[in-house]
Amino acid sequence: MGEVDVAFVQAPEHRSKPDSIIEAGGIPLIDLSPLNNCYHEDSANDSARHTAALVAKIGNACKEWGFFQVFNHGVSADLQQRVEAAVKKFFDLSSEEKRKVKRDEVNPMGYYDTEHTKNVRDWKEVFDFTVKNPTLLPASHHPEDQELQELRNQWPDFPPELREVCEEYASALENLSFELLELIALSLGLPGKRLNGYFNDDHTSFIRFNHYPPCPEPHLALGVGRHKDAGTLTVLAQDDVGGLDVKRKIDGEWVRVKPIPGSYIVNVGDIIQVWSNDKYESAEHRVTVNSQRERFSIPFFFNPSHHVMVKPLEELVDYQNPAKYKEYNWGKFFKTRKISNFKKLDAENIQIYHFKRSLV
């Protein structure tokens, strides 16, 4: 689910003992129908009560897990099925056909597979496209460089319906993400639309199609290694194969997220952690591969505009609870993460703990 794709591979004689995985749900399951029914309640008091209960559930899930699943979310089953069908048609194309829209260092949108990874086995292929086309990003990760770069989507000729259904799906997921963002703001004691202004019309959100072929030696590789997401929210659709593991905060156990048809898995990213001044923490997660079946997933990465300076929100900072992070520019941060997918930088991949303040 993260922007940076890392596979974990060790030779059999050097592998550590596998982490235990609890084959259960466990992740909070939240019904979003109060959002859709709020205008049909018998009274304003009923609407307020149901919304308050929903906000409390969202807040508890963000604090205790950093992950939750939602249903009755308002995205139609028909649209979900159409985008899933189009995704499968695309990945069924020949490698030659898919690589006609191959991404590169200049434009990281489009298709890529294991050809782009060095010294690791990244057991998947992906297709990325931005919600806003074009999307503006800094031209480089250097702080002094003010030049901007346009990211433009690359659409394949086949399947012909792919672009239309993807753009319709992106709009639906954008609306859902704003609803979730407002619930999270309310759970922090903020006005519902407090965070919306960071996204405006030029936010840097994007959607990724993941295809994980069957892996003959699943004990040697992960589809995506353990990581946290750098953005604000990730809204994930996964098929019935499953494979997403979340590290539970209370005991460090890896929990397998049980697929629920039609639902979305939501996790808060590092930006929420910084905005909340560590009240909500992004959760570590990973994807394991399957030896028998291929797996598909579609994460929506909800990210702010490139010019946004990320820092703890002033309403959540006071003398007893000082700011725990120095501010950083999201566009430069995001650009550094993208560049690191293609070439090794002089320093380790940038993380939010690089901006952590030393509070004595």
CA distances from 269 to 27, 43, 155, 198 (A): 16, 36, 28, 15
The pLDDT of 110-131, averaged and rounded, is 76
pLDDT at 223: 56
- Cα-atom radius of gyration of the chain, to the nearest Å? 20
Q: What is the token pair recorded at 337?
A: 């993460």
Within a domain: 15: no
Within a domain: 30: no
Query: Over 60: is that where the pLDDT of 119 sits?
Result: no
32: alpha, beta or left? (left if phi > 0; alpha if psi -120 to 50): alpha
Residue 14's pLDDT band (boundaries 50, 70, 90)? very low
Closest CA to 159 of 100, 79, 91, 77: 91
User: In whole angstroms, what is the distance from residue 228 CA to residue 231 CA?
Assistant: 9
**Angle between helix 162-187 and helix 44-64 axes, rounded to 10 deg:** 90
pLDDT digits (tens, 9 = 90+) for 268-283: 999 999 999 999 999 9
pLDDT at 20: 56
CATH number, residue 284:
2.60.120.330
pLDDT digits (tens, 9 = 90+) for 303-317: 999 999 999 999 999
pLDDT at 346: 47
Strands 206-212 and 264-268: unpaired
* pTM of this structure: 0.88
Within a domain: 338: yes
pLDDT digits (tens, 9 = 90+) for 39-86: 555 566 777 888 999 999 999 999 999 999 999 999 999 999 999 999
Within a domain: 315: no
Within a domain: 253: yes
* Domains identified in the chain, total number: 1
CA distances from 147 to 17, 105, 204 (A): 47, 16, 16
pLDDT at 221: 52
Q: Which domain holds residue 269?
A: 77-308+325-344
pLDDT at 351: 87
Within a domain: 61: no
Within a domain: 98: yes
Query: Over 70: is that where the pLDDT of 131 sits?
Result: yes
pLDDT at 226: 82
Residue 167's pLDDT band (boundaries 50, 70, 90)? very high
Whole-number mean pLDDT of the chain? 85
Within a domain: 69: no
pLDDT at 144: 77
The pLDDT of 208-230, averaged and rounded, is 78
Query: Over 60: is that where the pLDDT of 149 sits?
Result: yes
pLDDT digits (tens, 9 = 90+) for 240-264: 998 899 999 989 999 999 989 999 9
